[in-house]
Chain A
Amino acid sequence: MTREETPGVRDIAIVAFAQTDVLRTTDELSEVEMLMPVLHSVLDRTGLKTADIGFTCSGSSDYLAGRAFSFTLALDGVGAWPPISESHVEMDGAWALYEAWTKLLTGDADTALVYSYGKSSPGSLRDVLTRQLDPYYVAPLWPDSVALAALQAQALIDAGEADESALATIGTRSRRVATLNSHAQLRGTVPQGDYAVRPLRTGDCPPVGDGAAAVILAAGERARELCSRPAWIRGIDHRIEAHSLGVRDLTDSPSTRLAAERAGVFERPVDTAELHAPFSAQEIVLRKALRLDDSVRVNLSGGALAANPMMAAGLIRMGEAAARIHRGESDRALAHATSGPCLQQNLVAVLEGDAR
């Protein structure tokens, strides 16, 4: 929803963002060891201590760790004793941000720390992600994440909206701009490679990596105290597609479009967009759903094709968009996060800086 629809609600902004380098493996670090530098970094940027934070919300997945309640160990990193006001989503941290934003709207807190992390390296990610599928009709067939994305890519090719070279261009551009992003996992020239699952080649697929991210949200005047140019959340919304892939038009993303409408994206042009499109074909689907033309700078970070730490990549899109506003490089930015196969769930936020 947007602020305009609910007059009198507080202004809430992203005031700080930090992320780890995304690496193929981080054996030497437990989750909390990987996460802690990011937590300290984001707190340092605002001068806040963990005890000052009104509410904490995190995102992660037990299936990546292969361990129940794995998020509880990561809580050590935020100083969870004595007990803090805390919550967890078994999803990408972008959805944790949504929850924290909701909590700030109620007025129960003025600041929130949102973090998320994922180590994909211990398991085989393509197999692990099959466990999020419909357990009756789909999961018993073990269709992996690349295979499902390949079905979507072929549907786009059949519809005449892409071909293999157009897909390759997206991966190439993502990794080229990622040379300016020291946190990205794949940077510069990366061969398009062999077919992973045809029509997708390895260059159309995201790297598998471990990483973490954190942001701090603050309301009203508190945001101005903590950040010289807060990234105000003007609208945020998330929507979901029908569960069964065979019911959906895989060449479109009506849930993204609806979330964007509800977040107020189409009211005024955006200058910047951070899209969470793990597979090249998905960027085409999202650009169409969000009506982004060439005037919009898309994924200057390199996006998920350059670094896709599970459960953190969506929050990183929020953070990257906000950081551009903090630095004065954007005035109105769109941030998008996805979760599930073939863009099943989509979250869209509009961020704005104060007029200059």
Chain B
Amino acid sequence: MPEVLKAPLVVEFPFTRSLGPVQSAFLTGLRERLVLGVRTADGRTLVPPVEYDPVTAEELHELVEVAATGTVTTWAWNHAPRRGQPLATPFAWVLVRLDGAGTALLHALDAPGPDAVHTGMRVRIRWAENRTGAITDIACFEPHDGEPGRPGGERQESDGERVTGIVAPARLDYTYSPGRAQSAYIEALSTRRTVGERCPSCRKVYVPPRGACPTCGVPTAEQVEVGPRGTVTTFCIVNIKAKNLDIEVPYVYAHIALDGAGLALHGRIGGIPYDQVRMGLRVEPVWTDGARYPDHYRPTGEPDADYDAYKELL
């Protein structure tokens, strides 16, 4: 059995999110070093503010200012900060109830060590130098032994627009492994061969193989080499040029049933004008130097396959 393949896979996405009136006010406030909460019907002040009461589901909109100082309600010492977290040096995760608020906000506390942190300790916000209207405008909390701050006490007016959205970038790193069946398929492609797997029950050959027959729900294991030639079973004409793809439009994208395969795979058809591609056209793969899969398929020049020969594979 060939070795199972592995490769790094990075998933990165900048989520663009719009804000409702409450979140917009809160994040605009942070940019101006002002912390806003929202008042519930029973007189509690929720910080950070939300648009609906978590108990009654009533819509909330009465914004109130709270102080930049507060009290730690619980904490946890993080000796090994991870990527993206607020501080790169060891810090405490804290829930902080700001003075004037009835609920607590999650953030980081910059402290020399776990012995310097306890529930009930007094802290204040350390503002980020460059504030954009995001929760990270609070750089972190720091210990504070002075008087409780005043609501809005540190406000710094900015002439920026109201914050109506955030862009939340996210990156996750994976080590992808396609598993046994697909590893074998990719290994074979490196020697320009295409292998599928035969279902022990219905005898169909799956290309690319995934280790299971979707009709019978049983594992497949018997490797079968298919192709290299095949038959176009159906196709479409692509008229829109994809970004970062230097293929001239229009071109044909087709389902190709490789000889011996029990279902068709996808491929681009080249070497023939796009409007002459047809069902039943016999094709073969064209490899380019150093490629890991066929660049496209071109006509073999054989007579077209009989419809009955591929109708089950449409």
The residues of A with any CB-CB pair to B shorter than 8 Å are 27-33, 36, 39-40, 50, 63, 66, 73, 75-82, 121-124, 126-128, 130-131, 135-144, 147-148, 150-155, 158, 195, 197-200, 242-247, 250
B170 proximity list for chain A (CB < 8 A): 131, 139
A122, B174: Cβ atoms closer than 8 Å: yes
Among A50, A136, A143, A200, point to the contact of B23 (Cβ < 8 A).
Answer: A136
- Give 1 or 0 for each of B175-219: 1 = CB within 8 Å of chain A CB: 111111110000000000000000000000000001111111111
* B108 contacts the other chain (CB 8 A): yes
Contact A124 to B79, CB < 8 A, known contacts A30-B211, A76-B213: no
A-B contact pairs, 21 of them (CB 8 A): A28-B4, A28-B180, A30-B178, A30-B180, A31-B179, A66-B172, A76-B217, A79-B213, A79-B214, A79-B218, A122-B177, A136-B17, A137-B135, A141-B85, A142-B84, A150-B76, A151-B74, A154-B76, A198-B78, A244-B50, A245-B95
B102 and chain A: residue at smallest CB distance = A247
Among A80, A122, A137, A138, point to the contact of B9 (Cβ < 8 A).
Answer: A122
A79, B79: Cβ atoms closer than 8 Å: no
B106 proximity list for chain A (CB < 8 A): 137-138, 141, 143, 151, 245-246
Contact A141 to B136, CB < 8 A, known contacts A30-B211, A76-B217, A122-B176: yes
Among A158, A198, A244, A250, point to the contact of B54 (Cβ < 8 A).
Answer: A244
A197, B93: Cβ atoms closer than 8 Å: yes
A144 to B178, CA, bound (A): 27
B119 proximity list for chain A (CB < 8 A): 154-155, 158
B214, A81: Cβ atoms closer than 8 Å: yes
B178 proximity list for chain A (CB < 8 A): 30
B121 to chain A, nearest CB (A): 12
B211, A32: Cβ atoms closer than 8 Å: yes
Contact A27 to B177, CB < 8 A, known contacts A137-B48, A141-B107: yes
A80 proximity list for chain B (CB < 8 A): 214, 217
B93, A147: Cβ atoms closer than 8 Å: yes
A68 and chain B: residue at smallest CB distance = B11
A77, B134: Cβ atoms closer than 8 Å: no
Seed contacts A36-B218, A63-B172, A76-B213; 18 additional CB < 8 Å A-B pairs: A33-B219, A66-B9, A77-B212, A78-B217, A123-B173, A127-B83, A136-B168, A137-B106, A141-B136, A148-B93, A151-B93, A154-B119, A198-B78, A199-B76, A245-B95, A245-B104, A245-B106, A247-B103
- Give 1 or 0 for each of B95-131: 1 = CB within 8 Å of chain A CB: 1010000011111100000100001000000000000
A141, B86: Cβ atoms closer than 8 Å: yes
- Give 1 or 0 for each of B7-40: 1 = CB within 8 Å of chain A CB: 0010100010101000100010000000000000
B63 to chain A, nearest CB (A): 15
A32 to B211, CA, bound (A): 7
B48, A244: Cβ atoms closer than 8 Å: yes
B180 and chain A: residue at smallest CB distance = A28
B214, A76: Cβ atoms closer than 8 Å: yes
A137 to B166, CA, bound (A): 11
B212, A195: Cβ atoms closer than 8 Å: no
* B77 contacts the other chain (CB 8 A): yes
A200 to B174, CA, bound (A): 26
A32, B172: Cβ atoms closer than 8 Å: no
* B75 contacts the other chain (CB 8 A): yes
B50, A198: Cβ atoms closer than 8 Å: no
B10 to chain A, nearest CB (A): 9
Closest 10 CB pairs of A and B: A79-B217, A30-B179, A246-B104, A150-B76, A242-B54, A142-B84, A198-B77, A76-B214, A76-B212, A66-B174
Residue of B46, B79, B83, B106 most packed against chain A (CB within 10 A): B106
A136, B166: Cβ atoms closer than 8 Å: yes
A124 and chain B: residue at smallest CB distance = B173
* B150 contacts the other chain (CB 8 A): no
A76, B210: Cβ atoms closer than 8 Å: yes
A135 to B27, CA, bound (A): 13
* B82 contacts the other chain (CB 8 A): yes
Among A76, A121, A127, point to the contact of B172 (Cβ < 8 A).
Answer: A127
* B6 contacts the other chain (CB 8 A): yes
Among A131, A135, A138, A143, point to the contact of B17 (Cβ < 8 A).
Answer: A135
A30 to B4, CA, bound (A): 10
A123 to B10, CA, bound (A): 10
A153 to B6, CA, bound (A): 37
A33 to B211, CA, bound (A): 6
B47 and chain A: residue at smallest CB distance = A246
A31 to chain B, nearest CB (A): 8
B108, A141: Cβ atoms closer than 8 Å: yes
B212, A32: Cβ atoms closer than 8 Å: yes
A79, B215: Cβ atoms closer than 8 Å: yes
A130 to B182, CA, bound (A): 30
A30 proximity list for chain B (CB < 8 A): 178-182, 210-211
A92 to chain B, nearest CB (A): 20
B74 proximity list for chain A (CB < 8 A): 151-152, 154-155, 158, 250
A338 to chain B, nearest CB (A): 19
Among B11, B174, B175, B180, point to the contact of A29 (Cβ < 8 A).
Answer: B180
B50 proximity list for chain A (CB < 8 A): 243-244
A137 proximity list for chain B (CB < 8 A): 48, 105-106, 135
B187 to chain A, nearest CB (A): 13
B97 proximity list for chain A (CB < 8 A): 246
A99 to B108, CA, bound (A): 39
B143 to chain A, nearest CB (A): 17
A282 to B173, CA, bound (A): 29
A122 and chain B: residue at smallest CB distance = B174
A63 proximity list for chain B (CB < 8 A): 172
A204 to B272, CA, bound (A): 65
B213 proximity list for chain A (CB < 8 A): 76, 79
A155 to B106, CA, bound (A): 14
A147 to B85, CA, bound (A): 11
B215, A123: Cβ atoms closer than 8 Å: no
Which residues of B in the span 233-278 have a Cβ within 8 Å of any Cβ on A?
none
B82 proximity list for chain A (CB < 8 A): 126-127, 142, 144
B39 to chain A, nearest CB (A): 14
A81 to B168, CA, bound (A): 39
